[in-house]
Structure 1
Amino acid sequence: MFRTTKITLRLLLVFSLLLIYFPHSLPSADAAGTGQTSQIDAVLVVDVSNSMNKSDTGKIGNEAMKMFIDMLSTKGDKVGIVAYTDKIEREKALLEIKSPADKEDLKQFIDGLNRGPYTDIAVGVREAMKVLQNSADPNHEPMIVLLADGNNDFNKNSGRTQSESDKELSQAVQEAKDAGIPIYTIGLNADGKLNKEALADLAKQTDGKSFSTNTADDLPQILSEIFASHLKLKVVPIPSMTGNGKFQEVTINVPNANVLEANISIMSSKPVETVLVDPNGTEVAVPSDKVLLSKSKSYSLLKLLTPAEGDWKLKVKGASKDKIDINLVFNYDLELDLDPIPSKTYKKGDKIDILAYLTSNGQKLPNTELYTNMNAVLIVKDLDTGDTEEIKLNNTGDSFEGSYSIADKHDYELVVRAEEKSFYRETEPVKISTKSASSAGSTGTSTPKPTDVEKAKPFPVMTVVIWALIIIVLLIAAFVIMRMVRKENKGFVGQLVIEIRDENTNEKSFPQYKKLGAFKGKFNLHQLLQLAPELKETEGFIFTPGPNDRIIIRSQGGGTLEKSGRAVDISKGLELKGGDRITVPLNQSDKTIFLEYLV
């Protein structure tokens, strides 16, 4: 359930009218370009209670989260982090990944996580939903990854009960389900007390997946599986090896030219050396423009960007007797489309012809080699009974064909799934119904012919006038919306320099430089401070872009700040130009924030 603004409501109203009156003028979903790979908005939720000291002594969970971050694209994926006990210990708002430096920022945040007493899973999941509701991109694929090591452990002095926690968790899970946000759960079962069923149910309710393990060493593999599953990819295992102090060679087959990225994760307890050779036999520099390298104490990750088709050679040198696991995840520029089904209403016994095919950038693929090792099935779900049936489709070399005969007077959902060893794709679900077919049939009476009076109906002047008025209203509404959208999406320039002084100790933080170019329309001071819980009262300070490269700050509930040593009422807004400095006193946390606007 993402935040709905007034402009969104108006947009929905006008586009609803457009859909009602001009349905054929709008492009269908099938016509839209679908070749772009999905981008992720992920929140990593990690239990940092003291019990994790036993479950994950080497903090392998931190390493797994860092590897997950390294596997993401540097072209707009977003990641947030929530560390919880029975309260939020630390939090990182969704950060858009645009460079390796952004990934380093996230990984350093993970390295700085400390542990504390007590555990309350509901607290972590609820906060993750807030993060996604506040700043997720509606065009991205949202997800939550929950890493926990057992049951709740409440502070007796807090008065918190299991019933209260269960109710709060249930509400958060329902919100995730309603918003289409899958929750992937990972249970660490080091002490044998893991509540697997509760975590599995949480994932099942939101169409996520649940994993459990007795050792933290499995976490990098599990995070790889989650990454692949969310993007409808598959982890391709490479045979494990044991290091011997010398280079050992494995083959990495890039199956076709539609591979956008090849993620090669090398997991080991000790650092390894790598050499990469392309299909032409040329050694490729690592790192380079086309090969990104990320390293940690327990893994190395090579990301090949638009790699050439063919057999690559990866040479790995590991420490003697050190086990080395290698996984491969391809990211494809491919989608699976289903030919439109002619009618949405059928009767029992009717046969529906099925035709599905691969597309890239919205165009059907002419390359038949991609189909060579692929299998496809039609998945039919009876929406009345919940039963599911799979029907194998024929691979014709450039499409998948088959048919389905309606079994009963029920509602059905049809999905085609095609897969091979390194990826799978599914079509958008199509719903059909047979329940109204009987009423749609012939009644046995002939259709009366129009009479002479009916033929001589006058020209419908009022109808034309009404349609003209509707068109005029729509045009005016479209003009208003365009102006509002421009205002909502207006960007910012420059940056804000932030310093925070603790009024109890008089200590002042180092200056932080926050670039404003990533924000559109408006943002609040709490977002700029990365949603630090102790500074929550800064949510009420709103920034909007002003004319001539200026910004405007106002307070939603009224309030004052200091500029040039004088108190200023900002309930109606205060314009800041380059070089202006303001001071924001916080009463609830005994802190003072100093801001300087630089253009």
Structure 2
Amino acid sequence: MLQRKVIAYMMLFTLVLSFMPWIGREAAAQGAQTASQIDAMLVIDVSNSMDTSDKDKIGNEAMKMFIDMLSSTGDKVGIVAYTDKIEREKALLEIRSDTDKEDLKHFIDQLNRGAYTDIAVGVKEAVKVLEQGADPAHEPMIVLLADGNNYLNKNGSRTQAESDQELSAAVAAAKQKGIPIYTIGLNADGQLNQDALANLSKQTNGKSFVTSSADDLPQILSEIFASHQKLKIVPVQSMTGNGSYQDVTVNVPNANVMEANISIMSSKPVDLKLYDPSGKEVAIPDDNVRLSRSKSYSLLKLLQPAQGDWKLQVKGAKKDKIDINLVFNYDLKLALDPIPSKTYKQGDKIKINAYLTSNGQKLQNDALYRNMNAVLHVKDLDTGNSVDLSLVNEGDRFTGEFEVKDKHEYELKVRAEEKSFYRETEPVKVSAKPAAGAGASAQPGASEGEVKKPFPMWIVYSATGGIVLALAAAFLIAAWKKANRGFVGQMVIEVRDENTGEKSHPQYKKLNAFKGKCSLHQLLQLAPEFKETEKMVFIPDKNDRILLKNGSNGTIEKSGRAIDASKGLELKSGDRITVPLTQVDKTIWIEYIV
């Protein structure tokens, strides 16, 4: 039996070697074209000073609108509410349904005020959560809502210098990890410290905004999304309510729109009707139409909307100002044909060919190119100077060329845009600097008259024997590893007090310290009040998953339903469960992340 398995492994190994170049290219192409997702931490100052800086709680409205504008599934959001300490915190939650969004908005509505303010506390915690729990394939970001002013407890031990030092370290960590910090300065009382917030954004390649009115939120949030989703805000129109339905045309320009977010800002509730391009009325809400409301906005999200002119009818209160804006989310990337070489000489011309892709395939819808312009952005890495060279729109691609002017290193990037979105290629570096040892001829190949010798077959036989031995050893090692498998990833644990509704700070429990199995009681540091969890056992499984076996009388819930885990419940990265305790009025919230 062992011999048969070894032979089978050898055959599989040979096939993998044969297809490896193709697999590598295909995986790279698919990975490059996956629609980007966001891991966002929303950080808000909830000190008493915000009673005047943000008396209308615009910060809360901004966070809720941000959550509503996220994709229907896939993005992750966490929340940090701080004063001079962390008042409330929500670990990164993957959006899987509208219910998840509603839970987050409900959490925001429950935030209370505190006495003092220390921005460093909030920023540091947000960076830490992203470092420990963000998905490497997602785009991390922090949105900070504050007035930019610190107010430390004079009777405490914390000094302003210590706060500044901690903030500087957190910002440096964010910059090093590629986490931009977007700041929204809340300025209802005119006491905003705009420079402090702008500096945070500048250091981390984020953007800084100021507002004292909820009317500014669509523009601000669209600008923030533009940096991550490469979108543009499309103003639809403004109107004054008259008590009757008024028509608004929403043009979906092409079939590649994944989501159309229509924000309707008004001080009073509005009634809406929607008609698709064929003139058929569409129910609100519906399977492909989501409606979210707050006290200052309504957000209508169209999923995979048909191309063409949609008609939105808006009925507002008399004399109520209504602003309507549109943000599209596209499943589009901009690809650049590989540059033939990385090394050139002065005077060489480099051909540029860029094109749009959807789901990893070259876009077949040429109509999308009609209103697009593209430039080649060239940065001289020696001088720091940049120039944009116009490219030709060929109807299904963008073409042009770059002439190497100097013996310098350059970075090349194509940017294509139209009124509702833009896309950029990954930057490519080329060099016209003389290589070390230039002038030495490249190693020649076989000369034309050279007699080719037969390939030495003994190498094949030796390699085959080596492969068989290596595979046999690998099989035995794999069997041994399976019997001694360790954990990967970590558990994010929060404990909620059911009497007060308060949750503990998220605790990140790394699992690699355990071998074979560990109990939930161990992860809870064997605290006596959680003794009933000692028979809830985690066991490492293949494919970076774990099994939870419940040998106790307690209940384990997943997605709000009780689960029978007596024979094992498989958990993969991102899965969440809750354990309501019976001996104390507490519930344990657990998320497994790899």
Q: TM-score range, shorter-chain basis?
A: 0.7 to 0.9
The residue that corresponds to 1:250 in the other structure is 248
The residue that corresponds to 1:167 in the other structure is 165
TM-score (norm. length: structure 1): 0.78
Cα distance in 2, alignment partners of residues 412 and 478 from structure 1: 48
- Given that residues 256 and 332 in structure 2 are in contact (C-alpha distance below 8 angstroms), is that contact kept between their aligned partners in structure 1? yes
The residue that corresponds to 2:520 in the other structure is 553
SS of residue matched to 1:26: helix
Shift in CA distance, 70/63, structure 1 to aligned 2, threshold 3 Å: same
The residue that corresponds to 2:494 in the other structure is 526
Alignment of structure 1 residues 370-381 onto 2, 5 Å: 370-381=368-379
Q: CA deviation at 1:413?
A: 1.5
- Given that residues 222 and 231 in structure 2 are in contact (C-alpha distance below 8 angstroms), is that contact kept between their aligned partners in structure 1? no
**270-279 vs 26-35, which moves further:** 26-35
| Match of residue 54, structure 2, among 45, 56, 67 | 56
| Match of residue 284, structure 2, among 279, 283, 286 | 286
Shift in CA distance, 553/153, structure 1 to aligned 2, threshold 3 Å: same
Shift in CA distance, 165/409, structure 1 to aligned 2, threshold 3 Å: farther
Q: CA deviation at 1:438?
A: 6.6
- Given that residues 393 and 400 in structure 1 are in contact (C-alpha distance below 8 angstroms), is that contact kept between their aligned partners in structure 2? yes
Cα distance in 1, alignment partners of residues 378 and 589 from structure 2: 60
What letter is aligned with 1:523?
M
**459-468 vs 340-349, which moves further:** 459-468
- Given that residues 377 and 414 in structure 2 are in contact (C-alpha distance below 8 angstroms), is that contact kept between their aligned partners in structure 1? yes
Q: CA deviation at 1:334?
A: 1.1
- Given that residues 41 and 78 in structure 1 are in contact (C-alpha distance below 8 angstroms), is that contact kept between their aligned partners in structure 2? yes
Q: CA deviation at 1:228?
A: 3.4
**431-440 vs 35-44, which moves further:** 431-440
Q: CA deviation at 1:381?
A: 1.7
What letter is aligned with 1:577?
G
| Match of residue 577, structure 1, among 551, 557, 575 | 551
- Given that residues 488 and 521 in structure 1 are in contact (C-alpha distance below 8 angstroms), is that contact kept between their aligned partners in structure 2? no
Shift in CA distance, 537/85, structure 1 to aligned 2, threshold 3 Å: closer
Cα distance in 2, alignment partners of residues 299 and 247 from structure 1: 17
The residue that corresponds to 1:84 in the other structure is 82
- Given that residues 343 and 430 in structure 2 are in contact (C-alpha distance below 8 angstroms), is that contact kept between their aligned partners in structure 1? yes
SS of residue matched to 2:25: coil
**376-385 vs 566-575, which moves further:** 566-575
The residue that corresponds to 1:150 in the other structure is 148
Is the counterpart of residue 329 in structure 1 residue 297 in structure 2?
no
Shift in CA distance, 157/596, structure 1 to aligned 2, threshold 3 Å: closer
What letter is aligned with 1:240?
S
Cα distance in 1, alignment partners of residues 475 and 401 from structure 2: 43
Cα distance in 2, alignment partners of residues 197 and 54 from structure 1: 19
Shift in CA distance, 447/33, structure 1 to aligned 2, threshold 3 Å: closer
Shift in CA distance, 178/89, structure 1 to aligned 2, threshold 3 Å: same
The residue that corresponds to 2:317 in the other structure is 319
Is the counterpart of residue 414 in structure 1 residue 412 in structure 2?
yes
| Match of residue 47, structure 1, among 36, 45, 49 | 45
Residue by residue, what CA displacement relative to the aligned partner does 1:534-566 show, whole Å, maximum 9, x if unpaired? Answer: 74596559699999xx98435369746478889
Cα distance in 2, alignment partners of residues 147 and 71 from structure 1: 17
Q: CA deviation at 1:385?
A: 2.6
| Match of residue 300, structure 2, among 299, 302, 323 | 302
What letter is aligned with 1:344?
K
Cα distance in 2, alignment partners of residues 212 and 474 from structure 1: 62
Shift in CA distance, 485/522, structure 1 to aligned 2, threshold 3 Å: farther
- Given that residues 551 and 575 in structure 1 are in contact (C-alpha distance below 8 angstroms), is that contact kept between their aligned partners in structure 2? no
- Given that residues 581 and 596 in structure 1 are in contact (C-alpha distance below 8 angstroms), is that contact kept between their aligned partners in structure 2? no
The residue that corresponds to 1:362 in the other structure is 360
Is the counterpart of residue 203 in structure 1 residue 201 in structure 2?
yes
Please provide the CA RMSD for this pair.
4.4
Is the counterpart of residue 265 in structure 1 residue 263 in structure 2?
yes
Q: Structure 2: 5+ residue runs without aligned partners?
A: 1-15, 541-547, 557-583
- Given that residues 46 and 148 in structure 1 are in contact (C-alpha distance below 8 angstroms), is that contact kept between their aligned partners in structure 2? yes
SS of residue matched to 2:106: helix
Cα distance in 2, alignment partners of residues 425 and 198 from structure 1: 31
What letter is aligned with 2:493?
L
Cα distance in 2, alignment partners of residues 256 and 596 from structure 1: 43
Cα distance in 2, alignment partners of residues 314 and 275 from structure 1: 6
TM-score (norm. length: structure 2): 0.79
Residue by residue, what CA displacement relative to the aligned partner does 1:47-86 show, whole Å, maximum 9, x if unpaired? Answer: 1111211121111221121111111122221111101111
Q: CA deviation at 1:201?
A: 2.7
Q: CA deviation at 1:265?
A: 0.5
Q: CA deviation at 1:255?
A: 0.5
Residue by residue, what CA displacement relative to the aligned partner does 1:107-160 show, whole Å, maximum 9, x if unpaired? Answer: 111001111122211111111112212222222221111111122221122232
What letter is aligned with 1:434?
A
Is the counterpart of residue 75 in structure 1 residue 73 in structure 2?
yes
The residue that corresponds to 1:137 in the other structure is 135
Shift in CA distance, 327/403, structure 1 to aligned 2, threshold 3 Å: same
Shift in CA distance, 433/535, structure 1 to aligned 2, threshold 3 Å: same
Cα distance in 1, alignment partners of residues 527 and 338 from structure 2: 59
- Given that residues 188 and 216 in structure 1 are in contact (C-alpha distance below 8 angstroms), is that contact kept between their aligned partners in structure 2? no
The residue that corresponds to 2:110 in the other structure is 112
The residue that corresponds to 1:187 in the other structure is 185
Alignment of structure 1 residues 342-357 onto 2, 5 Å: 342-357=340-355
What letter is aligned with 2:220?
I
The residue that corresponds to 1:229 in the other structure is 227
Shift in CA distance, 405/43, structure 1 to aligned 2, threshold 3 Å: same
Residue by residue, what CA displacement relative to the aligned partner does 1:227-256 show, whole Å, maximum 9, x if unpaired? Answer: 233211111011211111111111100001
Q: Structure 1: 5+ residue runs without aligned partners?
A: 1-17, 491-519, 583-590
- Given that residues 39 and 140 in structure 2 are in contact (C-alpha distance below 8 angstroms), is that contact kept between their aligned partners in structure 1? yes
Cα distance in 2, alignment partners of residues 438 and 159 from structure 1: 58
Cα distance in 2, alignment partners of residues 65 and 565 from structure 1: 38
SS of residue matched to 2:339: coil
Cα distance in 2, alignment partners of residues 545 and 288 from structure 1: 47
Cα distance in 1, alignment partners of residues 476 and 127 from structure 2: 35
- Given that residues 246 and 317 in structure 1 are in contact (C-alpha distance below 8 angstroms), is that contact kept between their aligned partners in structure 2? yes
Shift in CA distance, 270/552, structure 1 to aligned 2, threshold 3 Å: same
The residue that corresponds to 1:15 in the other structure is none
Q: CA deviation at 1:199?
A: 2.1
Shift in CA distance, 462/167, structure 1 to aligned 2, threshold 3 Å: farther
What letter is aligned with 2:550?
L
The residue that corresponds to 1:515 in the other structure is none
- Given that residues 522 and 544 in structure 1 are in contact (C-alpha distance below 8 angstroms), is that contact kept between their aligned partners in structure 2? no
The residue that corresponds to 1:8 in the other structure is none
What letter is aligned with 1:397?
G
Shift in CA distance, 240/480, structure 1 to aligned 2, threshold 3 Å: farther
- Given that residues 525 and 543 in structure 1 are in contact (C-alpha distance below 8 angstroms), is that contact kept between their aligned partners in structure 2? no
